[in-house]
């Protein structure tokens, strides 16, 4: 039996996140975009949201029961963590996706530490987030010559006694400049391809590890995207995730990079859903306000049809994201479904945001209009976390493998 009804705790998370987004996030959204940054004092308030997003908890001071609701189990005793995260994330992205990407916490760096790190490493690297103040993790895979082609990374790692020496350059790293630590993927030998990959945690302040430029982007401008430089960075053995023996099996470093996507792609998909929903609702309200009293005019019917189609697409994308998140919670392999959700949601959201601009006409292009910003913000969703083309490669490989008669 499939049940789409939110539990009372999930409904509380959704309502809390929506109210926060509406009253706190939206009001700073356009200015943060213009300034390419979110004010620090605002970031501190976000710490509360990070806690909620990570464990699905509604803080008691906001009327929730506290106690880590996201860790609560469904009827079969399985975690609902991914589902909770998606429900809150859509609401926050509805407010401003840059704000969500700037939430303090391990970010994309979390999954490799979680899945590949030893218990000591998990304890060590996650403990920083319990300290007061703003703390970030980051995920450093992309290089100037290797984005989609992950096997092509050139950042090198060389063993030196009980240390490793890292050299290379990473680009487009979300929160890379402010992170307490970054998971850096490097290779012992590029000719080994994926088997040569290793995952290190490189801590801020390590000599030779420096910030390059902060990228200037078309959209998501308030989210920090940084270039990181590694020049003879000396890393202790203890920072090689999983320890050396872990990599003897073959492609474990590459797998550490890829496993992140099983939970992050449904999340990225639902962020696109949040932006698309925001754009759709904005356009819907515009049509209602400007044209409903003149229903007889042909343009009303055409615009209403566009809205009807967009509403259908937004809801379909959300269901795909929820399915992939549910599979992650169940421990069912979901690489195909995660890619489907992400690829579909990104394309859908680009259409819905473009429709919103179109419906507003010239007003949709004004810089003080949210739809202009959402139209710019949404493009990156078809690029990061694997481009649309790469998602289609992942999906097609799996459907052909799964269906010999396809």
Ligand X SMILES: Cc1cc2nc3c(=O)[nH]c(=O)nc-3n(C[C@H](O)[C@H](O)[C@H](O)COP(=O)(O)OP(=O)(O)OC[C@H]3O[C@@H](n4cnc5c(N)ncnc54)[C@H](O)[C@@H]3O)c2cc1C
Chain residues that interact with ligand X, rule: CB under 6 A: 108, 138-142, 147-149, 172-174, 217, 220, 225, 380, 383-384, 387, 389-390, 393
- Name 315's Cβ contacts closer than 8 Å, sequence gap at least 6: none
- Please check whether residue 332 is in contact with residue 312, taking contact to mean a CB–CB distance below 8 angstroms: no
Kindly list the catalytic residues.
Answer: 385
In angstroms, rounded to a whole number, what is the distance separating the alpha carbons of residues 342 and 344? 6
CB of 369 to ligand X, least distance (A): 22
Q: Which is nearer to ligand X, 173 or 359 (CB)?
A: 173
Residue 104 sits at φ, ψ, to 5 deg, of: -60, 150
Q: Which is nearer to ligand X, 240 or 390 (CB)?
A: 390
- Please check whether residue 284 is in contact with residue 340, taking contact to mean a CB–CB distance below 8 angstroms: no
What per-residue string of b and e applies to 264-279 under the rule 16 or more CB within 10 Å gives b?
bbbbbbbbbbbbbbbb
Q: Supply 163's token pair.
A: 């240390």
In angstroms, rounded to a whole number, what is the distance separating the alpha carbons of residues 20 and 49? 9
In angstroms, rounded to a whole number, what is the distance separating the alpha carbons of residues 96 and 30? 9
CB of 87 to ligand X, least distance (A): 23
Strands of 267-396 (E only): list them. Answer: none
In angstroms, rounded to a whole number, what is the distance separating the alpha carbons of residues 181 and 205? 9
CB of 32 to ligand X, least distance (A): 15
Q: Which is nearer to ligand X, 7 or 387 (CB)?
A: 387
- Name 242's Cβ contacts closer than 8 Å, sequence gap at least 6: 116, 117, 118, 121, 199, 252, 256
> CA nearest 93: which of 219, 271, 263?
271
Q: Which is nearer to ligand X, 9 or 54 (CB)?
A: 54
Q: Which is nearer to ligand X, 149 or 366 (CB)?
A: 149
Q: Which is nearer to ligand X, 102 or 334 (CB)?
A: 102
CB of 295 to ligand X, least distance (A): 42
CB of 24 to ligand X, least distance (A): 23
In angstroms, rounded to a whole number, what is the distance separating the alpha carbons of residues 313 and 89? 18
Instruction: Please give the residue whose beta carbon sits closest to ligand X in the complex.
Output: 147
DSSP 114: H
CB of 145 to ligand X, least distance (A): 8
């Amino acid at each position: 039996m499939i049940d789409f009804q939110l539990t009372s705790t999930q409904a509380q998370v959704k309502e809390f996140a929506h109210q926060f987004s509406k009253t706190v996030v939206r009001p700073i959204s356009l200015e943060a975009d213009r300034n390419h940054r979110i004010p620090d004092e605002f970031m501190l308030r976000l710490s509360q949201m990070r806690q909620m997003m990570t464990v699905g908890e509604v803080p008691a001071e906001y009327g929730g029961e506290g106690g880590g609701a996201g860790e609560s189990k469904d009827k079969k005793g399985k975690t609902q963590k991914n589902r909770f995260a998606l429900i809150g994330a859509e609401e926050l992205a509805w407010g401003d996706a840059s704000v969500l990407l700037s939430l303090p916490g391990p970010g994309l760096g979390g999954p490799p530490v979680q899945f590949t790190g030893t218990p000591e490493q998990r304890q060590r690297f996650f403990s920083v987030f319990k300290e007061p103040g703003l703390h970030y993790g980051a995920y450093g895979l992309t290089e100037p010559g290797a984005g989609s082609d992950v096997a092509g990374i050139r950042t090198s790692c060389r063993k030196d006694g009980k240390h490793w020496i890292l050299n290379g350059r990473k680009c487009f790293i979300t929160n890379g400049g402010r992170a307490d630590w970054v998971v850096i993927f490097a290779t012992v030998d590029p000719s080994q391809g994926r088997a040569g990959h290793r995952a290190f945690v490189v801590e801020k302040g390590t000599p030779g590890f420096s910030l390059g430029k902060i990228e200037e982007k078309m959209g998501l401008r308030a989210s920090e995207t940084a270039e990181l430089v590694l020049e003879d960075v000396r890393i202790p053995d203890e920072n090689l995730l999983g320890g050396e023996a872990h990599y003897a099996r073959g492609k474990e470093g590459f797998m550490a990079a890829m496993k992140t996507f099983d939970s992050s792609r449904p999340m990225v998909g639902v962020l696109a859903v949040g932006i698309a929903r925001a754009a759709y609702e904005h356009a819907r309200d515009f049509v209602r306000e400007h044209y409903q009293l003149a229903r007889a005019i042909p343009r009303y019917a055409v615009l209403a049809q566009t809205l009807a189609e967009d509403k259908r697409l937004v809801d379909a994308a959300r269901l795909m994201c929820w399915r992939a998140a549910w599979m992650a919670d169940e421990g069912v392999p979901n690489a195909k479904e995660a890619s489907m959700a992400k690829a579909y949601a990104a394309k859908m959201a680009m259409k819905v945001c473009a429709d919103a601009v179109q419906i507003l006409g010239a007003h949709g292009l004004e810089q003080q209009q949210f739809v202009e910003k959402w139209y710019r913000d949404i493009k990156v969703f078809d690029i990061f976390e694997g481009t649309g083309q790469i998602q289609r490669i992942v999906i097609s490989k799996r459907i052909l493998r799964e269906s010999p008669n396809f």
